[in-house]
Structure 1
Amino acid sequence: MHADTQTPDDLPGGELVDLAVEIFSMLADATRVRVVLALADRELSVSDLAATVGKSPAAVSQHLAKLRLARIVSTRQDGTRVFYRLVDEHARKLVTEAIFQAEHAVGGTPRHHQAAPADARALTDRADA
């Protein structure tokens, strides 16, 4: 349906919109965005995530707790180590698209448009997966 022909009945209900705003709010933090990007294709422990995002394990643990409450990440325990992973691909897609939008906002040709055809397909496939 075209955006100019939508009626209020075509739009998601207020509760879903409110929840979407909460998701955006949860992702409105640089460390949490980096955590989502780090977990895009793999699971990592807190110490590995801390090294990847350049923050202390304590700080990363606090962010992971918030992401768990929002059901964006889940855990798997292996002995004494806890591994984190994204619950599904949606947070990764949101963050990837936000990065793409940011590339457009800074001007010039965005990096995701400069990639070789195979690389561009991989980015698109990754965002669409």
Structure 2
Amino acid sequence: MLPADNLIEEATKIYKVLSNSTRITILYYLRHQSGAVDVSTIVSDLGLAQPVVSKQLGILYRYQLVCKHKQGTRVYYLLDDPHVVEMIDDMLNHVRHEIKGEPHPKNLYDKK
């Protein structure tokens, strides 16, 4: 049974969001933090321009991939949906197999 069209459309939008390497880098960065991180720390640690980081965080927030809270003048971000990064991990593993020319692990459709 196929998923509903509206679910497929939303998944497509999220895949488009994840098609940006800066956004993936930010997600991985947040994954490895012990708590929420402010924008200036992200800028400093990743060596990216503040407007770039802010724009990408805004897009990630809009698609509920990160959450945020404000303390005074600082905005802190946290990974909102860790399983999305796990999905990216799966894609990176797929890419590693492709680059190395290795076969993929057996799937349910392989007979034996």
Q: Quick check: which one's helix share is greater?
A: 1
Measure how far apart 1:52 and its partner are.
3.0
Q: Which moved more, 1:36-45 or 1:59-68?
A: 36-45
What's the secondary structure of 1:76's corresponding residue?
Answer: strand
Q: Does 2:17 match 1:54?
A: no
CA change 1:97–1:52 in 2 (3 A) is: farther
Mapped to 2, the partners of 1:70 and 1:26 lie a distance apart of: 8
Measure how far apart 1:108 and its partner are.
6.1
What's the secondary structure of 1:39's corresponding residue?
Answer: helix
Q: Which residue pairs with 1:37 in the alignment?
A: 28
Superposed CA offset, 1:74-127 (max 9, x none): 102223221101112222112222222222221067xxxxxxxxxxxxxxxxxx
Q: Which residue pairs with 1:99 in the alignment?
A: 92
Q: Which moved more, 1:85-94 or 1:62-71?
A: 85-94
AA in 1 matched with 2:55? Q
Measure how far apart 1:35 and its partner are.
0.5
Q: Structure 1: give runs of 5+ residues left out of the alignment.
A: 1-9, 110-129
CA change 1:51–1:102 in 2 (3 A) is: farther
Mapped to 1, the partners of 2:5 and 2:54 lie a distance apart of: 32
Which contiguous aligned blocks of 4+ residues in structure 1 show a shift greater than 3 angstroms?
none
CA change 1:28–1:14 in 2 (3 A) is: same
Q: CA RMSD in A?
A: 1.7
The aligned length equals 100
Q: Matched residues, percent identical?
A: 27
What's the secondary structure of 1:106's corresponding residue?
Answer: helix
Q: Which residue pairs with 2:12 in the alignment?
A: 21
Q: Structure 2: give runs of 5+ residues left out of the alignment.
A: 103-112
Q: Is the CA contact 1:36–1:95 (under 8 Å) kept in the aligned structure 2?
A: no
Mapping for residues 1-16 of structure 1, pairs under 5 Å: 10-16=1-7
Q: Which moved more, 1:91-100 or 1:33-42?
A: 91-100
